[in-house]
Structure 1
Amino acid sequence: MKSKIHEYRNDKKKSFSKSFFLITTALLLFSFSIQAQENKAKDLLNEVSAIVKGYKNIVIDFKYSLNNTKENIKQDSKGNVTMMGNQYVLNFMGATKIYDGKKSYTIVPEDEEVTISTVNEKDDSAITPSKMLTFFNSGYRCTIDKLEDVKGRKIQYVKLTPNNTKDKRKEILLGIDVQTKHIYNLIETDKKGTKTTLTVNSFKTNQPLSKNQFTFVASKYPNYYINKID
């Protein structure tokens, strides 16, 4: 009788050891898989950054959509932006924003007003079009997500999760064209369920630009109210 009990206990120990080994192995493989996915995502994002930085200038036409089904809110807009280094001209929602590298000029024809302010480039909270192409370099945990076929183009999505728990954004999906390594779209979902999507309709590079492309010319707005913030 004692022999059978001893044998039963040994079998139970072996079974436990085997189960523990299998669970541990599975967890390790899962951990390695996640790490591999993160490394793959980082490598892809590094490629995107390197390619973007290699262009003399970039001209983008885009579509912007905001959607919140709970609040029954849906808004679509189109815009375009021309960038060279940290300078840019953005046309969006009926307004034009010019940044010459030092000051920002927001021109609103509807109000006949120009707002002038100084931008601190070292301020991480200052969102500029140029940063939109490289913002993902820090502050996020990134993993490879779905791969989609969009009109014959392979779009690889990278899921970005903010490291800061106080961030109002839940996640960001960054769609990247596998062939060109250009950003195709950006889908941002906040913690309240609002989803905003920016889709690139046209991505042109190294275009011939005017010498005054990023210069604000006050004489063009003689009757506008000039609002100098600083």
Structure 2
Amino acid sequence: MKLSNQDSKKNYLQAITKNIFLITTLLLFSFATQAQDKKAKQLLDEVTAKVKSYDNITIDFKYTLNNSKENINQDSKGNVTMKGNQYVLNFMGVTRIFDGKKTYTIVPEDEEITISTANDKDDNTITPSKMLTFFNSGYRYNMDIIQNVKGRKIQYIQLVSTNPKDSRKEVLLGIDVQTKHIYNLIEVGKKGTKTTLTVNSFKTNQPLSKNQFTFAGSKYPNYYINKLD
């Protein structure tokens, strides 16, 4: 079993999963009622209403990690299919399946599968309950700049955590004004690291297999199974 790139891939996968579910959270759920920018809230409510009308969503995305001080600039592509709290994420050659109860992380290069159960007490685990309570931990949001991107008007909303221990300086959410779909998500760290998730393709109500979010162990007969429970 190879281990050379496993930790790096898992860190990337954890980061991209976090960002994808941050987008999902922004799309599907209302924010905590705080003194916020009314126009920003109105736009987010419109996005929420639009997305809640979809049975499922499939996104192709680009993920960029940049830190000019450290001379880091890395790009990766991936895709995710979501329905309710279930999802299948493909990123950096790794597949992660969440069937609503268990998460299956499949690493073909290492011939390893990690199986874990969602745990609300684990801060590193993305769970449906956390999606519901994400913004209750405290965020301020305001309308930011509007940009013209290839003929599309992208309105940015700035989100700032009220938690002083948060490593992020701010989060910028870009929304297509016409379609009310998410265009990109930018996280700016306090130490200069910036990650950007850009949606290249946003498809809805696609015909999905009844086993779309089901893990089939028979497909991986020689894989090492790492059960964390």
* TM-score where L is the length of structure 2: 0.79
Offset of 1:65 from its aligned partner? 0.1
Q: Which residue of 2 aligns with 1:228?
A: 227
**1:210 alignment partner, SS class:** coil
**1:222 alignment partner, SS class:** coil
Distance, in Å, in 2 between the alignment partners of 1:58 and 1:132 is 16
Distance, in Å, in 2 between the alignment partners of 1:172 and 1:133 is 18
Instruction: Tell me, yes or no, if the aligned pair for 1:81 and 1:129 is still in contact at 8 Å.
Output: no
1:208/1:199 CA distance change after superposition, 3 Å? same
Moved over 2 A (4+): 120-139
Instruction: Tell me, yes or no, if the aligned pair for 2:118 and 2:126 is still in contact at 8 Å.
Output: no
Q: Residue by residue, what CA displacement relative to the aligned partner does 1:173-193 show, whole Å, maximum 9, x if unpaired?
A: 100000111100001001101
1:55/1:137 CA distance change after superposition, 3 Å? farther
Q: Residue by residue, what CA displacement relative to the aligned partner does 1:14-56 show, whole Å, maximum 9, x if unpaired?
A: xxxxxxxxxxxxxxxxxxxxx9971111111122122222210
Offset of 1:139 from its aligned partner? 2.4
1:36/1:221 CA distance change after superposition, 3 Å? closer
Q: Which residue of 1 aligns with 2:140?
A: 141
Q: Which residue of 1 aligns with 2:4?
A: none
Query: How many corresponding residue pairs?
Result: 196
**2:65 alignment partner, SS class:** strand
Instruction: Tell me, yes or no, if the aligned pair for 1:85 and 1:130 is still in contact at 8 Å.
Output: no
> Structure 1 residue 205 and structure 2 residue 201: aligned?
no
Q: Which residue of 2 aligns with 1:54?
A: 53
Distance, in Å, in 1 between the alignment partners of 2:135 and 2:214 is 29
Q: How does 1:72-91 map to 2 (within 5 A)?
A: 72-91=71-90
> Structure 1 residue 41 and structure 2 residue 40: aligned?
yes
Distance, in Å, in 2 between the alignment partners of 1:130 and 1:157 is 26
Q: Residue by residue, what CA displacement relative to the aligned partner does 1:98-130 show, whole Å, maximum 9, x if unpaired?
A: 000000000000100000000136877533699
Instruction: Tell me, yes or no, if the aligned pair for 1:86 and 1:130 is still in contact at 8 Å.
Output: no
Amino acid in structure 1 at the alignment position of 2:43:
L
Amino acid in structure 1 at the alignment position of 2:79:
N
Overall identity of the aligned pairs, in %: 79
Distance, in Å, in 1 between the alignment partners of 2:136 and 2:198 is 20
Amino acid in structure 2 at the alignment position of 1:120:
N
Once the two structures are overlaid, the 10-residue window that deviates more, 136-145 or 35-44, is 35-44
Q: Which residue of 1 aligns with 2:175?
A: 176
Bigger Rg, which one = 1
Distance, in Å, in 2 between the alignment partners of 1:156 and 1:127 is 27
* TM-score where L is the length of structure 1: 0.79
Distance, in Å, in 2 between the alignment partners of 1:152 and 1:188 is 24
Q: Which residue of 1 aligns with 2:213?
A: 214
| Runs of 5+ unmatched residues, structure 1 | 1-34
